[in-house]
Amino acid sequence: MKIIIVGTGIASYYFASAVLKKLESVEVEAYGEEGEAYYRTRVLSLLDGKTAAGDLAIKPVIQDPRYSMHKLHVDNIDPDSKQIYTSDGKSHGYDVLVLANGAKAARLPLPGGRSHGIFAIRTIDDVIELSAWLDSHSGAPAVVIGGGLLGLEAASLIHERTGREVTVMESADHLLPRQLDLASSLYLQRRLSGMGLKVLCGASTSNFLSVNDCVSGIKCDDGFLVPASTVVESVGIRPNTFLAVDAGLQVSRGVVVDGQLRTSAENVYAIGDVAQFNGQVSGLAGGAMDMARTLAGVIAGEAVTYTPSAPSSMLKVAGLDVMTFGSVFERDAQCVVNETDTSREAWFVRDGVLAGVSMIGTRAHMSAARSSIGKAWEDVKAALLS
């Protein structure tokens, strides 16, 4: 069996590793412009001046003789003839095709949005470009649009690296709107403000201002002006669906897949950020790895179905650990809070069961919290509140 993977990121890496272990008679070829897989979620760490691009590589490198990686762009796929066409002018046949070509960073389609000094971070090259710009524009204010995981990490690292004023603009009414409940988010905002980050919530961008084609500020919908010589847009992702669209596959926001990660074309599958399952694009590394392992089982003939894991996130913002496990948006849930000047834990209990937890500034109950989701509160509260 010959399997071709379009993409060389984390989904591609974990699928190839898993399927090579499950099948003996298999040949796997991966094609992608960036080459060897790396942890995309860590690219912003390159701003700290201590991390090198090589430090982000996913290890161990796959060295199985049945596997080959090709640093080439895939121009087209043809499900009818089971061929892909690469940028070197060649075609390659397959028995199974796996689309794992990820996504691009979304950009705001607003006037002035292509001015110099406006960045959207997705790749190592994006961070290198941002780093060079920061070095040549020292002392000037910076703005990060988007108060999600990547946005807060970008703001924190830019502030730490440059010492300059950094403003975070979030269109929702609080930071980390997909991860944190309102009360926990407001606690985080107070902590960040005390560390030198300025936070503007409920702030929607109207257009970008520029001088000599370089960004000079942001105008909000309400007319408020925010000065900036550097802007980082952190407003989500756009799945790379162009190959699937051209090939006539079913595409919505992402490439539509079923529980076995099958697309609408025979012997063509999709995993990772390019895939859309049950109307959702995961956009998370954990989701990509779960899809990859599931698909390896499907290809090996196992009776497996992809089931998204319980939502969780772990990051460090300005030195603060911020973690969520399970659902912190449970309607009518009881919220048990343990808050100090340096940390906050919020436990969400619904119908006597621990549904979710948010933790800021502490790792004391991290492992216990993760394993306690879905268990009776009475059985776990003593350990969690100790």
Tell the residue number behind the tokens 């390019």, with chain if given: 274
The angle at the Cα of 298, spanning 266 to 242, to the nearest 5 degrees, equals: 45
Q: pLDDT tier at 327 (50, 70, 90 boundaries)?
A: confident
Residue (of 144, 149, 99, 105) closest to 123 by Cα position? 105
Phi, psi angles (nearest 5°) of residue 353? -120, 140
- 69-85: pLDDT as tens digits: 999 999 999 999 999 99
Long-range CB pairs of 185-193, under 8 A, 24+ apart, other chains included: 187/339, 187/344, 187/360, 188/317, 188/320, 188/322, 188/360, 191/318, 191/320, 191/360, 191/361, 192/152, 192/156, 192/168, 192/317, 192/318, 192/320
Q: pLDDT tier at 284 (50, 70, 90 boundaries)?
A: confident
Tell the residue number behind the tokens 């309102």, with chain if given: 182
> 92 - beta bridge partners?
84
- Give the Cβ contact number of residue 186 at 10 Å: 17
The angle at the Cα of 20, spanning 17 to 26, to the nearest 5 degrees, equals: 140
The confidence score (pLDDT) of residue 232 equals 97
Domain ranges of the chain: 2-104+237-299, 118-233, 319-384
Tell the residue number behind the tokens 């990547």, with chain if given: 150
Mean residue pLDDT across the chain: 93
Checking if the pLDDT of 369 tops 80, the result is yes
Residues ≥6 apart with Cβ < 8 Å to 69: 8, 29, 30, 31, 32, 35, 36, 62
Residue (of 103, 57, 81, 105) closest to 4 by Cα position? 81
Using CB atoms within 10 A of its CB, is residue 378 exposed (0-12), middle (13-18) or buried (19+)?
exposed
Checking if the pLDDT of 331 tops 90, the result is no
Element (H, E) at 321: strand 320-326
**In terms of CATH architecture, what is 2-104+237-299?**
3-Layer(bba) Sandwich (3.50)
| Tokens standing for residue 82 | 């089971």
Out of 1.10.8.50, 3.30.390.30, 3.20.20.80, 1.25.40.10, the CATH code matching 319-384 is 3.30.390.30
Out of 3.40.50.261, 3.50.50.60, 3.30.70.260, 3.40.50.1000, the CATH code matching 118-233 is 3.50.50.60
Q: Which residue blocks in the chain are alpha helix, DSSP H? A: 10-22, 124-136, 149-162, 182-194, 242-246, 285-299, 366-372, 377-384
The confidence score (pLDDT) of residue 368 equals 92
- 222-241: pLDDT as tens digits: 889 999 999 999 999 999 99
Question: What proportion of the chain, given as a percentage, has pLDDT over 90?
Answer: 82
Q: Can you tell me whether residue 14 is helix, strand or coil?
A: helix
Q: pLDDT tier at 143 (50, 70, 90 boundaries)?
A: very high
- For residue 63, CA distances in Å to 28, 60, 265, 270 come to 12, 8, 31, 24
Please state the separation of Cα 216 from the chain's center in Å: 28
Residue-by-residue DSSP string for 283-315: -SHHHHHHHHHHHHHHHTT------PPPPEEEE
**CA 235/CA 232 separation, integer angstroms:** 9
Checking if the pLDDT of 138 tops 80, the result is no
Asked if the domains at 118-233 and 319-384 fall in one CATH topology, the answer is no
Tell the residue number behind the tokens 């991966």, with chain if given: 30
**CA 93/CA 123 separation, integer angstroms:** 29
Residues ≥6 apart with Cβ < 8 Å to 100: 5, 6, 7, 9, 11, 12, 15, 270, 271, 272, 274, 288, 292
